[in-house]
Chains A and B, each alone.
Chain A
Amino acid sequence: KQEVTQIPAALSVPEGENLVLNCSFTDSAIYNLQWFRQDPGKGLTSLLLIQSSQREQTSGRLNASLDKSSGRSTLYIAASQPGDSATYLCAVPWGGTALIFGKGTTLSVSS
């Protein structure tokens, strides 16, 4: 069965730093990969969806890359801000049904 892993589990950085969040998956036969943001006690906000045929997807200060062959995706956040503090989750569809999620990386950006 597909497994999704996110490292690190937690990350603390000062404001303004560029950072990378990592996501790995065990089975490379994926249709796409989705990155989400979750604030404490809230639902998930979709950040980026990368189709399997794409290598990168960008939205503002966020850039997500996908390397299917190595089973990895990275989320790059440029010039981090305190408002970026949240938990970031990656997920892949599996079995033609729903999403398999990683456990997330909790990011804290200090001013």
Chain B
Amino acid sequence: DGGITQSPKYLFRKEGQNVTLSCEQNLNHDAMYWYRQDPGQGLRLIYYSQIVNDFQKGDIAEGYSVSREKKESFPLTVTSAQKNPTAFYLCASSRGTTSYEQYFGPGTRLTVT
């Protein structure tokens, strides 16, 4: 079955620790995205990548980093510089940007205490 997988589903970390969220897709999509969802805020774009070895900052990139070494994978690292990291993180992919349908993974809920 084609789709997007995110792991883990739940993640707990202590303040000051970096943590990496996994996102893998087998849809052969060129573009991949990371969004953050907070209650009452809607989804906001963190980073996106249109092609391997290239990525761009979204609206709220501060405190986050990404890599895109393989077409299938787009991991997100939440660093200790992120002030409010507790949130629901969603990964998405699409064939290309702009006019293509985006497909989402099941999400990772990160709790930092």
Once the chains bind, are B97 and A34 in contact (CB under 8 Å)?
A: no
Contact residues of B: prevailing secondary structure: strand
Q: Contact between B41 and A96 (Cβ–Cβ < 8 Å)?
A: no
Using a CB–CB distance below 8 Å, which chain B residues touch chain A?
6, 33, 35, 40-43, 45, 48, 56, 58, 88, 90, 92, 97-99, 101-107, 109
| Contact, CB under 8 Å: A34 / B48 | no
A97-B43 contact in complex given A31-B99, A43-B107, C-beta closer than 8 Å: no
**Across the interface, which residues of B come within 8 angstroms of A104, CB to CB?**
42
Which residues 70-111 of A have a CB within 8 angstroms of B? 89, 91, 93, 96-99, 101-104
Q: Are A103 and B99 interface neighbours, CB within 8 A?
A: no
Range for the number of chain A residues in contact with chain B: 20 to 34
Contacts of B104 in A (CB 8 A): 36, 43-46
19 additional A-B residue pairs with CB within 8 Å, beyond A45-B104, A93-B98, A98-B33: A31-B99, A36-B104, A41-B88, A42-B106, A43-B90, A43-B104, A43-B106, A44-B92, A46-B101, A89-B42, A96-B97, A97-B48, A97-B58, A97-B97, A98-B45, A99-B102, A103-B40, A103-B41, A104-B42
